[in-house]
Structure 1
Amino acid sequence: MGSLFEELESREAAARVRVEELESQIAELTARLEAERETWSRLRVTRETVAEVVAEMSSSDGASAVELPVAAGDQPVRVVGAIMVPHWREGLSVHVLPDVYRDIVEVVADASTPMQAKQIVPRIGLPAVTAKIEGTRGKLKRLVERGWLTEDQPGLFALAHRATVESGEEAER
């Protein structure tokens, strides 16, 4: 019977080694997980803080310049303002929008039917190339998110509030 006990002891020792290896891997993964959670948390807080600062800057000054900190020996980076598209609300005219967004809303308002980005691009003075069309599509989507335009069918944009542009035209007079 001695060989049976020796075999069991051998198997037990092998199982113990495997358990210890797995525990070591778990400890290593737990440490990596905690480090990544810390990085994620710092990035989230940084993004939220920057968003708050940019929002405060744009509401108080519009287009002030900000110098970003850089590593020693690098040239400072200047960021001029942030384009902010406010959420539409009653009484707000297109004049609160940055120029390119205002141009887009005015072009869409002048159209009798919903428009595609590729139709809008030449009307706002840009070349009808893929990069400009995609950039304009992003702006159109932002205007939809903020309530200035609607997108009832994919890729077709229309004015959400007629009074928005009309009150803007009255303000120009």
Structure 2
Amino acid sequence: MAVEEAVAMVSLVEELRAREAAARARVEALESQLAELTGQLEAEREVWSRLRVTCETVAQVTAEISARNASDSTEAAESVSVAPVRKVGAIMVPHWREGLPMGVLPDVYRDIVEVVADASGPMQAKQIVPRIGLPTASAKIEGTRGKLKRLVERGWLTEDQPGRFSLAHRPAGENSELPER
């Protein structure tokens, strides 16, 4: 019986060594994959960073052009009555700055700002959606929430509490009323 026990111990040790070798091979393969994925992650982070900077630069330039065009349009509208022109293409929300009229915002963003400005306190996306004429489907609420977040990023609104939005800046000057459309 001692011989059988010795053979069993040798077989057990051999089995353990085989399992250890297999585990080591799996670890080495995973480490290799991890190194490859880390390289890919760094490359994608660099692309993302460049795109983010490009988008911010384009938004800033577009906002400046929009503000210039808005002031030119205001001067032209005072001299001649012109029907509004609907712009087709990328929707750009310019960064808020003193004296920038709400008229530079795309229609849906302007509607959102007007609803929030008329509210007596902070509002949630689900409260805003029906007031801008959209059905209260979850997709519409999430889309509006994204627009609200963009308006916060650009300085038009604030989010003092998560999911509760209010106007960041009241219109100043003698025309404190929000523009009519």
TM-score normalised by structure 1 residue count: 0.57
Say whether 1:157 aligns with 2:165.
Answer: yes
Q: 1:52-131 counterparts in 2 under 5 A?
A: 52=57, 56=61, 60=65, 81-131=89-139
Q: Percent identity?
A: 61
Secondary structure of the structure 2 residue equivalent to 1:163: coil
Q: Matched residues in 2 for 1:28 and 1:113: separation?
A: 52
Amino acid in the other structure paired with 1:149: L
Deviations 1:125-163 (A, max 9, x none): 100111111111111122122221122233222212221
Q: Cα 1:167–1:132, aligned 2, differ >3 Å: closer, same or farther?
A: farther
Q: Matched residues in 2 for 1:121 and 1:166: separation?
A: 30
Amino acid in the other structure paired with 2:122: P
* Cα RMSD for the two superposed structures: 3.8
Residue 111 of structure 1 and its aligned partner are, at CA, apart by 1.6
Amino acid in the other structure paired with 1:45: R
The match for 2:150 among 142, 150, 169 is 142
**Mind listing any 5+ residue stretches in structure 1 that lack a counterpart?**
1-17, 62-79
Structure (1 or 2) with the greater strand fraction: 1
Structure 2 residue aligned with 1:41: 46
Query: In the comparison of the two structures, how many residue pairs are matched?
Result: 135
**Mind listing any 5+ residue stretches in structure 2 that lack a counterpart?**
1-20, 67-87
